[in-house]
Amino acid sequence: MENNLRKPFFINDENVAQYAQQMASWIAGQVNAANRQGLVLGMSGGIDCSVVACLCHLAKVDVHLIMMPYGSDMNNSKSHAHGMELIEKFNFPYHIFDIKPAVDALTINNEAYIAASSESNRVLSLANIRPRVRMTYLYQFAQLGSRFVIGTGNMAEATVGYFTKWGDGAYDLNPLAMVTKQEVYTLAKYLGVPESIQDKSPSAGLWEGQTDEEELGMSYAQIDAFILTGTSGEPATDELIHRRQQQSAHKFAAIPTFKG
């Protein structure tokens, strides 16, 4: 099953200023039309959330960045330092909430359930608690200040279903939904995202040492090529992309309901 994503534009060095301003105006319009006071953004120290933060800054919208480490994991991966570098450069308001107590309280520790599970399901069941807890924090903070939660998922991630359902896949608006990873980097350079963030390997931070491309088994460049040309350039990778689309189709479909 295809995700039915379409690519209506492409951002390059020549038109990036135009599209950055259009995206910023769109963000401001969404906030104003809903009579919201501003935005809430989860800050991991990664390239996507940094670009969205900078677009909000360009839009002159009041945005609060929320850092949500699991204990000391952000410090261990340098994500905290990268996030703070962006925050200090643009003087973003920010808040830090340690999600470890909440995650640990929600973790199922029944040995029989764990023993009956496959290794991959066990690892992912634990990893996916974190983005779902983070989204709960974001929505409560947003509700307290009459704000929207802004998303950061890009088109490459959506193409292969690389996000957590009801976690980082939940938001009120998303400026990057039709933007490839290549375009994200073009925007990052134009918007002045710190080079330390631009240069590091993309990671969802699901566990220590995790990188997106290693977990996916393909590069973002290959996914972008698939989006733009219909093929990654390698039949085996194309097959893997199609398989991931089939496996993640439920993330995009309407929830099935019994209608009698």
On average, the pLDDT of the chain sits at: 93
* pLDDT band at residue 20 using 50, 70 and 90 as cut-offs: very high
* Domain ranges across the chain: 16-251
pLDDT at 207: 53
**CATH architecture designation of domain 16-251:** 3-Layer(aba) Sandwich (3.40)
DSSP 184-253: HHHHHHHHT--HHHHHSPP---SSTT--HHHHHTS-HHHHHHHHHHS--S-HHHHHHHHHHHHHHGGGTS
User: How many residues comprise the chain?
Assistant: 260
The amino acid occupying position 88 is E
pLDDT at 235: 97
* pLDDT band at residue 2 using 50, 70 and 90 as cut-offs: very low
Mean pLDDT confidence for 27-37: 98
* Cα 235 to Cα 162: distance, rounded to the nearest angstrom: 20
Write out pLDDT tens, residues 128-171: 999 999 999 999 999 999 999 999 999 999 999 999 999 999 99
Contacts of 42 (CB under 8 A, 6+ apart): 49, 65, 66, 68, 134, 135, 138, 152, 168
Tokens 């040492």: give the residue: 209
CA 6, distance to chain mean position in Å, is 19
Write out pLDDT tens, residues 100-138: 999 999 999 999 999 999 999 999 999 999 999 999 999
* pLDDT band at residue 59 using 50, 70 and 90 as cut-offs: very high
* Cα 131 to Cα 103: distance, rounded to the nearest angstrom: 10
Q: Which of 60, 58, 75 is nearest to 19 (CA)?
A: 58
